[in-house]
Amino acid sequence: MIDGPEIVNDSAANRLRSGCHSAKSLAHLWDHRVVVFLTVCVGSDPATESDLVVKWQQTLAFMQDRPYLQVPASIVTLVPTKLADRPFADRGVPDFRIAAEQRTLNAMAEEVRRLDDEATRIRWSFVPAVGSFSTLMTSIFVHAGLMHLLGNMAFLFATGPVVEDAFGRPLFAALYFVGGIAATVGYAMRHSDSVIPMMGASGAIAAVMGAYLVRFLGSRIEFIWIPIIFLPRLHMRFFIPAFVVLPLWLLAQFAAVPFEGESGGVAVTAHITGFLYGVVFALTVKFTKALMTKQPQPAIADALRREVDLAFEAKDDHALDAAATRLLGRLIDEKRDDAARNLIQDLAGAGIEKVLPLFLSRAAVYAEKRGDRRVAVGLYRKLSVLDPSGPRSLSSLMKLGSLLKSEGDISGAREALLRARAHRACTPECIRKIDAALGQVDAGTGDLAEETPWT
């Protein structure tokens, strides 16, 4: 069977350096995948599936070589349209031979039908030769095994939340699901006669990767290499820019295209198609947004404000965080500073205890750039308190330490840096930078480095 590609190696895991790493919609995707996996894979017999594919191919080949035979009714839905609708050709074959071969074909068809009824998972997968629109979608949720599922989910959780926060839920859903369908169609166009089932989310995840490359071109991806899987403490961390590692991955897919055969394996054509779709999708969003922001459009800000109000009333902090961040970005782009400050006061003022990591981080950066260090300090401190273990808390504590030192609050700066050093996301590189900053604080000289290890 065609397994979707594993874009995270068993001995390496990716952790992206920017963005929120917890999204409710992705949690729902995980839940749905597990349900489908348990439904169609528990009790599934790989030997039955392999036997089905082999006998399916043999039956179609038998029919292809004998155009004078009728398609058995039991497998009419398992026969490609161009084969089922071919014109009848007698070719002078004796009737007794036609009858004997028809009986043979009928017996082969009954065996294929029996195996198909037992191979539950294949009915959810996409078969290029006879695939339907419904299986274009369901095949994204079906996986060949537990490691296939976990590998895809690991990379989805590593990249998906970042892209989802950048595009919003509706656009991310279009990117993911349409990307998965486009990837499957891309493979099916190259292997239109194949009866090997396609399954896996790798094409959809490749679309997310393509969008990530466009949206976060300059970000660095941290790799953790564990040479001995049972000794995770023996590992090595290293960083590679997204504009290096993702194009290299794509080139590797192109290099593997000649080896993509009819015997199963990795559907690299699906990966390439999905990735390119993601690139085009992200570029379209980027240029559309650029055209829309050339002139102020209050209607867009008003719509975002309504979205913020609805999320606030529904007490949906995740939706509120995403909507408020987009609204603040819109107000900043339109240079409506008074409205931006009012929004920050409404959602992050004294007495407001909502956990809005994206919004607080964006608001703090805005206040700092405006020169309002007092507000920036308050926002960074609020973020580090309300979401102490979140991925943005580390950079907030680093920024807080830098700002407090510049204002002469040495004890406050030291406290913030020590908290940053103890953060679970602080890497050895991060610890070295913090130790150097603590040395500057203790010495009372120099400015702390502006570059933070988690931005």
Tell whether 283 is covered by a domain: yes
The domain of 430 spans 388-455
Compute the average pLDDT of residues 21-33.
48
Give the whole-angstrom CA distance, residue 244 versus residue 240: 7
Q: Reply yes or no on whether the pLDDT at 259 is more than 70.
A: yes
Q: Reply yes or no on whether the pLDDT at 441 is more than 90.
A: no
Q: Token pair for residue 312?
A: 């606030």
Are 222 and 275 in the same domain? yes
C-beta separation of 274 from 203 below 8 A: yes
Question: How many angstroms from the chain centroid is the CA of residue 2?
Answer: 20
Are 146 and 226 in the same domain? yes
C-beta separation of 332 from 340 below 8 A: yes
pLDDT, mean over the chain: 79
Are 217 and 282 in the same domain? yes
Tell whether 83 is covered by a domain: yes
Return the closest-CA partner of residue 197 out of 84, 30, 44, 304: 44
Give the whole-angstrom CA distance, residue 196 versus residue 381: 56
C-beta separation of 407 from 434 below 8 A: no
Question: How many angstroms from the chain centroid is the CA of residue 279?
Answer: 13
Tell whether 306 is covered by a domain: no
> Of the residues 269, 292, 315, which one is the last residue of a structural domain?
292
Tell whether 28 is covered by a domain: no
> Of the residues 292, 311, 340, which one is the last residue of a structural domain?
292
Are 149 and 234 in the same domain? yes
Find which of 146-150, 252-256, 302-306 is predicted with most confidence, using mean pLDDT: 252-256
Q: Reply yes or no on whether the pLDDT at 252 is more than 90.
A: yes
The pLDDT value given to residue 410? 85
Are 154 and 267 in the same domain? yes
The pLDDT value given to residue 174? 94
Are 151 and 238 in the same domain? yes
Compute the average pLDDT of residues 398-405.
84
Are 404 and 266 in the same domain? no
- Pick 79 or 250 by higher pLDDT: 250
Are 270 and 197 in the same domain? yes
Tell whether 368 is covered by a domain: no
Give the whole-angstrom CA distance, residue 184 versus residue 196: 13
Measured between its terminal Cα atoms, the distance across the chain in Å is 41
Q: Token pair for residue 88?
A: 């009848």
Total domain count for the chain? 3
Tell whether 396 is covered by a domain: yes
Compute the average pLDDT of residues 145-153.
81
The pLDDT value given to residue 23? 42
Are 154 and 258 in the same domain? yes
pLDDT in tens, 32-78: 555 555 445 544 677 877 888 888 888 888 988 888 888 888 888 88
Are 160 and 280 in the same domain? yes
> Of the residues 83, 118, 153, which one is the last residue of a structural domain?
118
Q: Reply yes or no on whether the pLDDT at 317 is more than 80.
A: yes
Confidence bin at 421 (pLDDT 50/70/90): confident
Tell whether 101 is covered by a domain: yes
The pLDDT value given to residue 442? 76
Are 171 and 286 in the same domain? yes
Are 102 and 219 in the same domain? no
Percent of the chain clearing pLDDT 90 (strictly above): 14
Tell whether 131 is covered by a domain: no
The pLDDT value given to residue 108? 92
The pLDDT value given to residue 304? 83
